[in-house]
């Protein structure tokens, strides 16, 4: 069977991912391993069945998991690197076709909304990746499975895994099914494309230009995979916390979180 002939099917329900384990042979390692049946349910959710289940499992291995399971052959960072490029290509092609009269700058902004930040982590959560991530106990205790940066990485790694297991046309078909109506998605995101600016507009008339303050509270991870955590203050009151692979992403996430529960402060 060629990669293009792999089995595909439409996403089904949103029932919780759980269940017993069954034996599956992993072609990449040529070993029989225990694959939780929760990953069978995950394959229904994502609309793709893997010929090489080891690729699916690898896409869900957070780097912290190797600290407690040193026998694990690989974390998901290499697949994330590949999937990031594949996802960018798929979205670039689609946006290029959907908006024939838009200039490069606008297309780039559209792609950034769909391929990064809260949109991508929310999509990962909708697909159920947060229920399947393999992490260290400390990461799980710190709710690392719902951390946006971890979910972004896992979704990009999943795209890379599907690409290696099949081909570009198959991956494109699956990914675009996840996204649905892209113009509608972009319209829904229009109000949060510049969360820092929008928050400033709300605050400025009452409290002035300098009332908002963003502070980096900590940095995590290795130099090539750094995660920034930013606290957002309104004067001396902590409004929200955000994180991202850059300070800008972390600040935008903090602002978006603040907007989601915004109440105009009293004078």
Residues contacting residue 94 through CB under 8 Å, at least 6 positions apart: 176, 182
> Number of C-alpha atoms within 13 angstroms, CB side, residue 200?
10
Asked if 258 and 240 count as a contact pair (C-beta separation under 8 A), the reply is yes
Candidate list 156, 165, 251, 252, residue with the active-site label: 156
- Cβ atoms 216, 230 nearer than 8 A: yes
Contact 178, 123 (CB under 8 A): yes
Reply yes or no on whether 13 is catalytic: no
Among this protein's residues, is 156 annotated catalytic? Answer: yes
d(CA 144, CA 61): 12
End-to-end CA distance of the chain: 69
Residues noted as catalytic: 84, 156
């Amino acid at each position: 069977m060629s990669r293009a002939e792999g089995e595909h099917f439409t996403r089904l329900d949103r029932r919780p991912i759980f269940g017993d384990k069954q034996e599956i042979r992993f072609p990449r390692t040529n070993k029989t391993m225990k694959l939780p049946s929760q990953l069978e349910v995950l394959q229904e959710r994502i609309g793709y069945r893997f010929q090489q289940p080891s690729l699916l499992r690898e896409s869900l291995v957070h780097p912290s998991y190797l600290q407690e399971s040193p026998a694990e052959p690989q974390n998901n960072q290499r697949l994330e690197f590949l999937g990031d490029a594949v996802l960018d290509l798929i979205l670039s092609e689609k946006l290029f076709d959907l908006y024939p009269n838009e200039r490069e700058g606008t297309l780039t902004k559209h792609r950034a909304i769909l391929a990064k930040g809260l949109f991508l982590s929310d999509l990962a959560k909708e697909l159920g990746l947060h229920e399947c991530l393999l992490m260290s106990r400390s990461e799980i205790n710190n709710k690392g499975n719902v951390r946006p940066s971890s979910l972004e990485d896992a979704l990009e790694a999943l795209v890379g895994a599907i690409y290696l297991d099949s081909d570009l046309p198959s991956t494109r078909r699956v990914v675009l099914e996840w996204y649905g109506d892209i113009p509608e998605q972009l319209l829904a995101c229009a109000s949060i494309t510049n969360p820092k600016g929008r928050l400033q507009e709300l605050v400025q008339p009452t409290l002035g230009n300098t009332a908002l303050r963003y502070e980096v509270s900590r940095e995590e991870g290795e130099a090539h995979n750094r995660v920034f955590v930013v606290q957002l203050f309104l004067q001396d009151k902590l409004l929200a916390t955000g994180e991202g692979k850059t300070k800008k992403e972390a600040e935008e996430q903090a602002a978006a979180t603040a907007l989601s529960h915004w109440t105009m402060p009293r004078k």
